Chain A
Amino acid sequence: MSNKINHSMSLAKPDALDITTKQKVALAIGITGLFILTLALLNTNFPNKALFLTLSLGFIIIGTVIYSREAYLTKLEGIKNDGQWFKSISSRGVWGWILGLVLTSFYIVLYFYPKYLGLRQGVDGGNTGLISLFDPLSQLLSGRNASQWFVYGTLYTLAILAFGYKFILKYRHNRYQQIRTVSVMFFQLGFAFLIPEFMYVMNNDLPYYDLKSIWPLNYYLFDEWSVNAFLSNGNIGLALLVFGILSIFVITPILTYKFGKRFYCSWVCGCGGLAETAGDSFRHLSSKKISAWKLERWLVHSVLVFSVVMTTAMVYTYLGYDKNDFWLTRDVFISFIIGFLTLVFVSVMYFKRQELGKDARAGAIGFFITIVLLLILHFTGTTEHVFYIKSGALRSAYGIYIGSIFSGVIGTGFYPILGNRAWCRFGCPMAAILGFQQRLFSKFRITTNGGQCISCGNCSNSCEMGIDVRHYAQKGENIVRSSCVGCGICSAVCPRGVLKLENDSMKGRINPTEILLGNDVNLMDLVNQK
Chain B
Amino acid sequence: MIVIKVLTNPSTNNLTNNQYYMEHIVIIGNGISGVTLARHVRKLSNKKITIVSTETDYFFSRTALMYIYMGHMKFEYTQPYENWFWKKNRIELKKGYVKNVDTNNKTLQFAEGDSLEYDKLVIAAGSKPNKFGWVGQDLEGVMGMYHKQDLDKLEEYAPNNEICKRAVIVGGGLIGIELAEMLNSRSIPVTFLVRESSFWNGVLPIGESEMINRHIKSHHIDLRLSTNLKEIKSDENGKVKSVIIEETGEEIPCNVVGLTAGVSPNVDFLKDSEIELGRGVKVNRFLETNIKDVYAIGDCAEQHEAIGNRRPIEAVWYTGRMMGETLAQTICGNHIEYKPGHWFNSAKFMDIEYQTYGWVFSERNKKDEEAHFHWKHEDDTKCITVAYHKDTNKFLGINTFGIRMRHETFDTWLTEERDVDYVINNLSEANFDPEFYNKFEKDILSAYNQNLQTA
Contact = CB atoms under 8 A, between A and B. Distances in A.
Contacts of B32: 455
Given A458-B67, A470-B80, A517-B411, A5 B1 contact: no
- Among the interface residues A81, A289, A456, A460, which one has the most CB atoms of the partner chain B within 10 A? A456
B408 A496 contact: no
28 contacts: A15-B160, A76-B218, A77-B351, A78-B351, A81-B70, A84-B72, A86-B71, A87-B71, A176-B436, A179-B436, A449-B408, A449-B432, A450-B407, A450-B411, A457-B67, A457-B77, A457-B79, A471-B80, A495-B353, A496-B346, A501-B434, A517-B407, A518-B322, A518-B342, A519-B325, A523-B325, A523-B339, A527-B325
Name the interface size band of chain A: 35 or more
Shortest 8 CB-CB distances between A and B: which pairs? A450-B407, A78-B351, A497-B404, A456-B64, A83-B71, A520-B339, A175-B436, A15-B160
A116 to B, nearest CB: 39
A517 B185 CA distance: 34
Nearest to B355: A497
Nearest to B35: A455
- Among the interface residues B40, B160, B437, which one has the most CB atoms of the partner chain A within 10 A? B160
Contacts of B43: 514
Interface stretch (B50-58, B151-159, B384-392): B151-159
- Among the interface residues B64, B159, B340, B342, which one has the most CB atoms of the partner chain A within 10 A? B64
A491 interface: yes
A3 B71 contact: yes
A82 interface: yes
B77 A460 contact: yes
Interface string A271-300: 000000000000010001110010000000
Nearest to B406: A449
Nearest to A18: B187
Interface in B307-327: 317-318, 321-322, 325-326
Given A76-B351, A175-B437, A523-B329, A457 B64 contact: yes
B113 interface: no
A493 B355 CA distance: 15
Nearest to B65: A456
B211 interface: no
A412 interface: no
A307 interface: no
B355 A496 contact: yes
A454 B317 contact: yes
Nearest to A83: B71
A82 B350 contact: no
Given A3-B75, A452-B318, 12 more contacts: A3-B74, A5-B152, A15-B159, A15-B160, A17-B71, A451-B321, A457-B73, A457-B78, A458-B67, A516-B322, A516-B325, A520-B322
A429 B109 CA distance: 58
Interface in A437-477: 447, 449-452, 454-458, 460-461, 468, 470-471, 474
Interface string A64-97: 0000000000001111011111110000000000
A500 B434 contact: yes
Given A17-B186, A496-B355, A519 B78 contact: no
A202 interface: no
B77 A461 contact: yes
Contacts of B247: none
B443 interface: no
B6 to A, nearest CB: 14
A514 B36 CA distance: 10
A389 B337 CA distance: 71
A154 interface: no
Given A460-B77, A500-B432, A452 B407 contact: yes
Contacts of A4: 155, 159
Contacts of A452: 318, 344, 346, 355, 407
A48 to B, nearest CB: 45
A526 B2 CA distance: 22
B295 to A, nearest CB: 16
Contacts of B318: 451-452, 518
A217 B71 CA distance: 36
Contacts of A416: none
Interface string B65-109: 001101111110111101000000000000000000000000000
A9 interface: no
B31 to A, nearest CB: 11
